Amino acid sequence: MKIPRVLNRKNRILLAELTATDFKLRYQGSVLGYLWALLRPLMMFAILYVVFAKLLRFGGDIPHYPVYLLTGITMWSFFTECTSQGIQAMVVRGDLIRKISFPKYIVVVSATLTAVINMLINLVVVVIFALINGVTPSWTWLLVPFSLLELYALSLGISFLLGAINVKYRDITSIWDVCIQALFYAVPIIYPISLVAESSVLAAKIILLNPIAQAIQDIRHNLITTETITTWNFIENPAVRIIPIALIIIILIRAAFYFRKKSKFFAEEI
Amino acid sequence: MRQKNLGTRKEIDSKSNIAIEVSNLYKSFKLPTEKASGLKQALFNFFRGVKGYKKQEVLKGISFKVKKGEFVGIVGRNGSGKSTLLKILAGTYYPEKGEVTINGNLIPFIELGVGFNPELTGRENVYLNGALLGFSHKEIDEMYDDIVEFAELKEFMDQKLKNFSSGMQVRLAFSIAIKAQGDILVLDEVLAVGDEAFQDKCNQFFNKIKKDKSKTVILVTHAMENVRQYCDHAILIRDGVIEIDGSPKDVANSYSLENSERYIEDQKDNQPKTSEFIKNLNVKLLSAKKPTQNDSIKIEITYDVTKNINTYLGLSLWDIKRNQSLINSNSKSQICKGKGHKKITFETSPSTINDSNIRVNVSVREKDGSILAYYPDSKSPTVVLRRTDYENMDHKTIDAVLFQRGKFDVKE
């Protein structure tokens, strides 16, 4: 897959046009329109905040816990939106794939890019909340994009792999919905990882080897408070520490090749 | 599980005068025998050792070349493999075996208005459709006015597409198709759109593009008058193989013949229906199957009568397309007396009639007109008349039964 061919002029134009269309159409016919891109995670946040911070009193000793929670939720919804849109993309754009020839990855990338745009808007809200909450800006903020990229690479890998299978076996969509539910509790979003570490250090370490957990904890660490437990400061063995990143790279590369191999037959199978 | 050695499709940009070259192209599809679009069914089939699909061969070794600047028609009955071929040319389907080489910028219109979204405005749809065909914003900016003008939809372009009538949508799609600046246009059955005024515009466009030697056009159609009118060369596909690769006239005639034969096969009765006194009714065409106006049509009818009665022959030449009879003999006039073998020949000249597909209908009757035997449609010979003396092709003239041979005298 030569880079210049993959990202040639024609493909870039198509990618931009499809992404713009997706974004335009997403909130078609709703009164508040694009505002929903902001309102949805905020409302999610409000519910979880009331339940977990006020009623269950999680995160007692974590500074800036509300922002900490909001960051986690924003990143989690980015991951879920990205993957579910990406996996569905081939089916949603089935009419195009059946009738016209173009590199199929564009469909997946454009669907996930809409999620990226949403996430970036939400990130602005997170930063504003952080400043209101008294978080002081620091140079580590500059490291956040790397974690975002990591999360995006993982989502893209999953989208390519499962999206390609989903063309033939639509069950994948439902299976992934269940996986998302399970993953939500496997990642320290609503509960602080310190809570797990108190009862079992090993369990906390295993949780932190999940690339999603690693990325989200890194973002919290770099954006909000350095007291956050991350893969880097909790796991001693450097060889084990790189597992999450290695996983992302392997998944993305394998998925991309698998997708490319299968994409020749999408038009017939979809 | 897939074959490792797939065919290839490559796009090149060379000076050679061949625009499209297809050699030994094969394509088959796996059709699921049961509904096997889920994991459950797939596992089921796996454990039961069932394949779960049936292989359907659609293209069986197709080879042809298209020169630059040619206008090529591809015809064939439904299911003959035309659309699959086009989709392989366009790159949506992957060739299973064989090679496809495209020299130039190919713009496919397998279906009009690909990617059209009812929630977007006409203008946005033009840009989206353009992007799908590989054009940048700037390039479409340049074509935009032309497209809108050709579609005659200027005042509607800022409306959402869902508020367009279906005719308007098709007009917009077609305008994009023909204003798009590609070297090779692939058009699948798109001519029958729009009202009459729009059709005339399309005709003009096709006549223009026919003369333009820098553009190559592949047209799939069922309208034989279009093939005769525009194409430089035509290809007839039948059951996945090329039957004829030659002049548009030959292809159009063969296609018409194939269709009229098929039309008759569809009907149930396959054997001559005869009463007990009439045996071995047979009808034979002695003249050419594809006569011109100068030839004659000659038919021989034979039958045996086993009882001493008088029989009367009924014969008509039936125009399949216009659904009316052209010639109908009076069944009283041709009397055959008594028992024995009867042989009757009939000869006529088609010099006065226009192009038609003719079926020979034969029956044997009694004096009072009641039928003793008749020859079934499925076996009756078919004659495809194709005149060679049309000077000014116009399908409206040809639609008439009689050949136009009157004289005009204009006094001014």
Return the pLDDT at A249.
96
- CB-CB: which of A25, A96, A169 is closest to B132? A96
Confidence of residue A5 (pLDDT cuts 50, 70, 90): low
- Mean pLDDT over A43-69 rounds to 81
Average pLDDT, chain B: 82
**Whether residue B269 has pLDDT greater than 60:** no
pLDDT at A256: 95
Q: Which of the four pLDDT bands, split at 50, 70 and 90, describes residue B49? A: low
| Cβ contact, residue pair A99, B114, below 8 Å | yes
Among residues A93, A228, A218, A78, which one has the least CA distance to residue A154? A78
Mutation site for A-interface testing, chosen from B39, B55, B106, B111 by largest number of A Cβ within 10 Å: B39
The pLDDT of residue B271 is 56
The predicted structure's pLDDT at residue A7: 67
**Domains of chain B, each with CATH number or no CATH:** 8-105+182-261 (3.40.50.300), 273-385 (2.60.40.770)
Q: What is the pLDDT of residues B305-339, one digit of tens each?
A: 888 888 888 888 888 877 778 888 766 667 888 88
Domain residue ranges of chain A, discontinuous segments joined by +: 3-269
> In angstroms, rounded to a whole number, what is the distance separating the alpha carbons of residues A36 and B154?
34
pLDDT averaged over every residue in chain A: 88
Q: What is the DSSP string of B111-165?
A: STTTT--TTSBHHHHHHHHHHHTT--HHHHHHHHHHHHHHHT-GGGTTSBGGGS-
Which residues of chain B does A268 touch, with a Cβ-Cβ cutoff of 8 Å? 29, 93-94
Residue of A175 and B254 predicted with greater confidence: A175
Q: Which of the residues B2, B44, B94, B141 would you substitute to probe the A interface, choosing the one with the greatest number of A C-beta atoms within 10 Å?
A: B94
Find, in chain B, the residue whose alpha carbon is nearest to that of A93: B115
Cβ distance B383 to B260 under 8 Å?
Answer: no
DSSP notation for B191-236: -S-S-HHHHHHHHHHHHHHHH-TT-EEEEE-S-HHHHHHH-SEEEE
ipTM over the 0.85 cut-off: no
Which residue, A156, A221, A222, is CA-closest to A192?
A221
Q: Do B131 and A9 touch (CB under 8 A)?
A: no
Average pLDDT over residues B263-271: 52
Q: How far apart are CA A44 and CA B197, in angstroms?
A: 57
User: CA-nearest residue of chain B to A27?
Assistant: B119
Q: Say how far apart CA B102 and CA B13 lie, in whole Å.
A: 8
Token pair of B214 as six digits: 């820098």
State yes or no: pLDDT of B260 exceeds 70: no
Torsion-angle region of A30 (φ positive above 0: left; ψ -120 to 50: alpha; else: beta): beta
pLDDT at A47 over 70: yes
Share of chain B above pLDDT 70, in %: 88
> Which one of A8, A15, A21 would you mutate to disrupt binding with B, by most B Cβ within 10 Å of its Cβ?
A21
CB B318 within 8 A of CB B361: yes
| Gap between the Cα atoms of B122 and B133, Å rounded | 17
pLDDT over 70 at B51, yes or no: no
Which pair of tokens denotes residue A220?
Answer: 């919290």
* Measured torsion, CA atoms of residues A48, A53, A55, A58, in degrees rounded to the nearest 10: 110
pLDDT of A8 > 90? The answer is no
Chain A CB within 8 Å of residue B247 CB: no
pLDDT of residue A143: 93
- Sort residue A162 into left (φ over 0), alpha (ψ -120 to 50) or beta: alpha
B92 contacts A99? CB cut-off 8 A: yes
User: Is the Cβ of B371 closer than 8 Å to some Cβ of chain A?
Assistant: no
Q: Within an 8 Å CB–CB cutoff, is residue B38 touching chain A?
A: yes
pLDDT for A2: 45
pLDDT in tens, A149-185: 999 999 999 999 999 999 988 889 999 999 999 999 9
Question: Which positions in chain B touch A13 (Cβ < 8 Å)?
Answer: 131, 134-137
Among chain A residues, CA nearest to B93: A267
Query: pLDDT of A101-119, one tens digit each?
Result: 888 999 999 999 989 998 9
The pLDDT value given to residue A1: 42
Give CA–CA dist A199/A203, Å, rounded.
9
Q: CA A68 from chain center: how many Å?
A: 17
- Residue of B90, B120, B124 lying closest to A101 (CB–CB): B90
> Looking at per-residue confidence, does B238 or B276 come out higher?
B238
Partner residue opposite A98 with nearest CB, options B92, B131, B137? B92
pLDDT at A259: 95
How many other CB atoms are found less than 10 A from the CB of residue B25? 25
Residue (of B189, B153, B158) closest to B172 by Cα position: B153
The pLDDT value given to residue B394: 65
Given this model, what pLDDT does residue B206 score? 81
Token couple for B364? 């044997």
Q: Is some CB atom of chain A closer than 8 A to the CB atom of B108?
A: yes
Instruction: Say whether B131 and A18 touch across the interface (CB within 8 A).
Output: yes
**Which band of pLDDT confidence, cut at 50, 70 and 90, is reported for residue B274?**
low
- Does residue B118 belong to the interface with chain A, where contact is any CB pair within 8 Å? no
Confidence (pLDDT) at A161: 96
Distance from B258 to chain A by nearest Cα, in Å? Answer: 29
pLDDT in tens, A201-215: 999 999 999 999 999
Given an 8 Å threshold on Cβ–Cβ distance, is B115 in contact with A102?
no
Q: Among A1-15, B193-207, B243-257, B293-307, whose mean pLDDT is lowest? A: A1-15
3-state secondary structure chain A: CCHHHHCCHHHHHHHHHHHHHHHHHHCCCCCCCCHHHHHHHHHHHHHHHHHHHHHCCCCCCCCCHHHHHHHHHHHHHHHHHHHHHHHHHHHHCHHHHHHCCCCCHHHHHHHHHHHHHHHHHHHHHHHHHHHHCCCCCCHHHHHHHHHHHHHHHHHHHHHHHHHHHHHHCCHHHHHHHHHHHHHHHHCCCCCCHHHHHHHCHHHHHHHHCCHHHHHHHHHHHHHCCCCCCCHHHHCCCHHHHCHHHHHHHHHHHHHHHHHHHHHCCHHHHC
- The nearest CA of chain B is from the CA of A2 a distance in Å of 16
Q: How far is CA B375 from the centre of its chain?
A: 28
* Closest CB from A96, A169, A264 relative to B114: A96
Across B269-279, average pLDDT: 67
Interchain contact B150–A (C-beta under 8 A): no
B275-289 average pLDDT score: 85
Minimal C-alpha gap between A9 and chain B (Å): 8
Mean pLDDT of B180-197: 74
Min Cα–Cα distance to chain B from A37, Å: 19
Is residue B1 predicted with pLDDT exceeding 50?
no
* CB contacts, 8 Å: B107 with chain A: none
- Return the amino acid letter for B139: E
CB–CB of A96 and B137 under 8 A?
A: no
pLDDT at res. B273? 60
Q: Are A107 and A114 in contact (CB under 8 A)?
A: no
What pLDDT, on a 0 to 100 scale, did the predictor assign at position B135?
83
Residue B393 pLDDT greater than 70, yes or no: no
* B263 neighbors B390 (Cβ within 8 angstroms): no
Residues of chain A found within 8 Å of residue B91, distances taken between Cβ atoms: 101
**Residue B54 touches chain A, beta carbons under 8 Å:** no
Contacts of A18 in chain B (CB under 8 A): 128, 131
pTM of the model: 0.75
* CB contact (8 A) between residue B110 and residue A268: no
Residue of chain B minimizing CA distance to A16: B131
Q: At residue A41, does pLDDT exceed 90?
A: no
**A contact test, residue of B129, B132, B137, B187 with most A CBs within 10 A:** B132
Contact B37 A170 (CB under 8 A): yes
Chain A hits for B83, CB-CB cut-off 8 Å, are: none
